[in-house]
Amino acid sequence: MGYKAPVLRDADKDSDPYALTMLAAILDGHDAARFNKKLVREDKVALSVGIDYDSTARGPGMIYLHGSPSEGRTIAELEAALRAEITRIQQEGVSEKELKRAKAQLVASQVYKLDSMFGQAMEIGQTEAAGIPYQKIDHAGQTAAGERCRSAGRGEKILQRRYADHRRPRAATPRRQAAPRGRRRASLSHCEIKG
Protein backbone atom coordinates (compact mmCIF):
# COMPACT_ATOMS: atom_id res chain seq x y z
CA MET A 1 0.00 0.00 0.00
CA GLY A 2 1.20 3.48 -0.68
CA TYR A 3 0.30 6.87 0.72
CA LYS A 4 1.16 10.30 -0.59
CA ALA A 5 3.53 11.92 1.86
CA PRO A 6 5.42 15.18 2.19
CA VAL A 7 9.12 15.33 1.42
CA LEU A 8 11.79 17.64 2.74
CA ARG A 9 11.99 20.81 0.65
CA ASP A 10 12.99 23.38 3.27
CA ALA A 11 15.20 21.99 6.02
CA ASP A 12 14.44 24.96 8.27
CA LYS A 13 10.62 24.81 8.07
CA ASP A 14 9.54 21.28 7.15
CA SER A 15 8.97 18.95 10.08
CA ASP A 16 6.46 16.45 8.67
CA PRO A 17 9.18 14.43 6.90
CA TYR A 18 11.01 14.07 10.21
CA ALA A 19 7.81 12.92 11.93
CA LEU A 20 7.25 10.35 9.18
CA THR A 21 10.82 9.12 9.52
CA MET A 22 10.19 8.60 13.23
CA LEU A 23 6.89 6.87 12.49
CA ALA A 24 8.65 4.52 10.06
CA ALA A 25 11.26 3.74 12.72
CA ILE A 26 8.56 3.00 15.31
CA LEU A 27 6.61 0.75 12.95
CA ASP A 28 9.54 -1.00 11.26
CA GLY A 29 12.91 0.27 12.48
CA HIS A 30 14.05 -2.87 14.32
CA ASP A 31 13.04 -6.44 15.19
CA ALA A 32 10.94 -5.32 18.17
CA ALA A 33 9.10 -2.64 16.14
CA ARG A 34 5.31 -2.76 15.95
CA PHE A 35 4.91 -4.35 12.52
CA ASN A 36 7.32 -7.21 13.16
CA LYS A 37 6.17 -7.80 16.72
CA LYS A 38 2.42 -7.71 16.10
CA LEU A 39 1.91 -8.85 12.51
CA VAL A 40 4.73 -11.38 12.12
CA ARG A 41 5.32 -12.87 15.58
CA GLU A 42 2.02 -12.44 17.45
CA ASP A 43 -0.79 -12.52 14.86
CA LYS A 44 1.23 -14.46 12.25
CA VAL A 45 -0.55 -12.59 9.46
CA ALA A 46 2.69 -11.94 7.57
CA LEU A 47 5.98 -13.64 6.85
CA SER A 48 7.57 -10.23 6.47
CA VAL A 49 6.32 -6.69 6.60
CA GLY A 50 7.95 -3.31 6.21
CA ILE A 51 7.70 0.37 5.50
CA ASP A 52 9.70 2.46 3.04
CA TYR A 53 9.94 6.24 3.06
CA ASP A 54 12.47 8.59 1.49
CA SER A 55 12.21 12.06 2.97
CA THR A 56 14.51 13.53 0.31
CA ALA A 57 12.80 12.17 -2.81
CA ARG A 58 13.02 14.51 -5.79
CA GLY A 59 9.49 13.87 -6.99
CA PRO A 60 6.22 13.51 -5.14
CA GLY A 61 6.68 11.78 -1.81
CA MET A 62 5.29 8.36 -1.04
CA ILE A 63 5.39 6.12 1.99
CA TYR A 64 4.98 2.42 1.23
CA LEU A 65 3.72 -0.34 3.51
CA HIS A 66 4.54 -3.77 2.14
CA GLY A 67 4.52 -7.37 3.18
CA SER A 68 4.06 -11.01 2.28
CA PRO A 69 1.10 -12.83 3.83
CA SER A 70 1.73 -16.00 5.82
CA GLU A 71 0.63 -19.32 4.42
CA GLY A 72 -3.14 -19.59 4.68
CA ARG A 73 -3.57 -15.82 4.96
CA THR A 74 -4.77 -13.50 2.21
CA ILE A 75 -3.50 -10.18 0.94
CA ALA A 76 -6.76 -8.61 2.14
CA GLU A 77 -6.10 -9.86 5.69
CA LEU A 78 -2.56 -8.46 5.63
CA GLU A 79 -3.79 -5.13 4.27
CA ALA A 80 -6.45 -4.94 7.00
CA ALA A 81 -3.83 -5.74 9.66
CA LEU A 82 -1.52 -2.99 8.36
CA ARG A 83 -4.38 -0.48 8.43
CA ALA A 84 -5.33 -1.64 11.94
CA GLU A 85 -1.80 -0.89 13.18
CA ILE A 86 -1.96 2.59 11.65
CA THR A 87 -5.35 3.13 13.34
CA ARG A 88 -3.99 1.83 16.64
CA ILE A 89 -1.07 4.26 16.59
CA GLN A 90 -3.48 7.11 15.72
CA GLN A 91 -5.73 6.30 18.65
CA GLU A 92 -3.20 5.21 21.29
CA GLY A 93 -0.15 7.20 20.24
CA VAL A 94 3.40 6.10 20.85
CA SER A 95 4.85 5.00 24.19
CA GLU A 96 7.91 6.67 25.65
CA LYS A 97 9.78 3.36 25.36
CA GLU A 98 9.00 3.04 21.63
CA LEU A 99 9.99 6.64 20.97
CA LYS A 100 13.25 6.28 22.90
CA ARG A 101 14.16 3.11 21.02
CA ALA A 102 13.32 4.63 17.62
CA LYS A 103 15.43 7.71 18.42
CA ALA A 104 18.34 5.50 19.46
CA GLN A 105 18.06 3.51 16.22
CA LEU A 106 18.03 6.68 14.09
CA VAL A 107 21.00 8.18 15.94
CA ALA A 108 22.91 4.88 15.64
CA SER A 109 22.23 4.72 11.89
CA GLN A 110 23.51 8.29 11.49
CA VAL A 111 26.68 7.50 13.46
CA TYR A 112 27.20 4.31 11.47
CA LYS A 113 26.72 6.26 8.24
CA LEU A 114 29.59 8.55 9.25
CA ASP A 115 31.93 5.54 9.31
CA SER A 116 31.40 5.05 5.60
CA MET A 117 32.65 7.42 2.91
CA PHE A 118 30.01 5.91 0.63
CA GLY A 119 27.24 6.64 3.17
CA GLN A 120 28.35 10.22 3.57
CA ALA A 121 28.60 10.75 -0.17
CA MET A 122 25.19 9.15 -0.70
CA GLU A 123 23.54 11.44 1.85
CA ILE A 124 25.19 14.55 0.41
CA GLY A 125 24.19 13.54 -3.12
CA GLN A 126 20.58 12.78 -2.20
CA THR A 127 20.04 16.03 -0.33
CA GLU A 128 21.74 18.14 -3.00
CA ALA A 129 19.75 16.39 -5.75
CA ALA A 130 16.56 17.28 -3.87
CA GLY A 131 17.65 20.93 -3.83
CA ILE A 132 18.60 21.04 -0.17
CA PRO A 133 22.13 22.11 0.81
CA TYR A 134 23.63 19.19 2.72
CA GLN A 135 24.87 21.55 5.45
CA LYS A 136 21.23 22.24 6.42
CA ILE A 137 20.36 18.66 7.29
CA ASP A 138 19.87 18.56 11.04
CA HIS A 139 19.90 15.01 12.34
CA ALA A 140 19.27 16.21 15.88
CA GLY A 141 16.11 17.89 14.58
CA GLN A 142 15.10 14.59 13.06
CA THR A 143 15.04 12.85 16.42
CA ALA A 144 13.51 15.86 18.20
CA ALA A 145 10.66 15.80 15.68
CA GLY A 146 9.71 12.46 17.15
CA GLU A 147 7.91 14.37 19.87
CA ARG A 148 5.44 15.53 17.22
CA CYS A 149 4.94 11.92 16.19
CA ARG A 150 4.30 10.98 19.82
CA SER A 151 1.42 13.41 20.18
CA ALA A 152 -0.93 10.76 18.79
CA GLY A 153 -1.00 11.38 15.17
CA ARG A 154 1.09 13.90 13.27
CA GLY A 155 2.83 11.32 11.10
CA GLU A 156 -0.22 9.07 11.07
CA LYS A 157 -2.69 11.75 9.93
CA ILE A 158 -0.68 12.10 6.76
CA LEU A 159 -1.56 8.50 5.91
CA GLN A 160 -5.07 9.21 4.64
CA ARG A 161 -4.98 8.81 0.87
CA ARG A 162 -4.12 5.19 0.14
CA TYR A 163 -2.99 3.52 -3.07
CA ALA A 164 -2.90 -0.27 -3.15
CA ASP A 165 -1.05 -2.55 -5.54
CA HIS A 166 -1.30 -6.30 -5.10
CA ARG A 167 1.39 -8.37 -6.77
CA ARG A 168 1.37 -12.10 -6.95
CA PRO A 169 4.31 -14.18 -8.12
CA ARG A 170 3.83 -15.87 -11.47
CA ALA A 171 3.67 -19.62 -11.62
CA ALA A 172 7.04 -21.14 -12.25
CA THR A 173 7.59 -22.19 -15.83
CA PRO A 174 9.36 -25.48 -16.39
CA ARG A 175 12.97 -25.03 -17.44
CA ARG A 176 14.33 -26.77 -20.46
CA GLN A 177 16.54 -29.68 -19.44
CA ALA A 178 20.18 -29.44 -20.40
CA ALA A 179 21.63 -32.29 -22.41
CA PRO A 180 23.69 -34.77 -20.37
CA ARG A 181 27.42 -33.96 -20.26
CA GLY A 182 28.71 -36.44 -22.79
CA ARG A 183 26.01 -35.72 -25.34
CA ARG A 184 26.24 -31.98 -25.80
CA ARG A 185 26.29 -30.82 -29.35
CA ALA A 186 28.61 -28.11 -30.49
CA SER A 187 26.67 -24.97 -31.29
CA LEU A 188 28.75 -24.41 -34.42
CA SER A 189 28.34 -27.93 -35.84
CA HIS A 190 26.53 -26.63 -38.89
CA CYS A 191 29.51 -24.54 -40.02
CA GLU A 192 31.99 -25.79 -42.54
CA ILE A 193 35.66 -25.36 -41.82
CA LYS A 194 37.79 -24.96 -44.90
CA GLY A 195 41.50 -25.17 -44.58
For 106-146, the pLDDT digits (tens) are 888 777 777 888 888 888 888 888 788 877 765 544 544 54
Give me the CATH number covering residue 155.
Answer: 3.30.830.10
pLDDT(165) > 80: no
CA diameter of the chain: 85
Structural domain of residue 11, as residue ranges?
2-168
For 69-95, the pLDDT digits (tens) are 999 999 999 999 999 998 888 888 888
Model confidence at 58, pLDDT cuts 50, 70, 90, reads confident
The mean-pLDDT minimum among 19-23, 33-37, 76-80, 176-180 falls in 176-180
**Is residue 72 included in any domain, yes or no?**
yes
> E-strand spans in 2-58?
2-4, 46-53
**Is residue 178 included in any domain, yes or no?**
no
For 5-15, the pLDDT digits (tens) are 888 887 777 77
Task: Specify the number of domains making up the chain.
Answer: 1
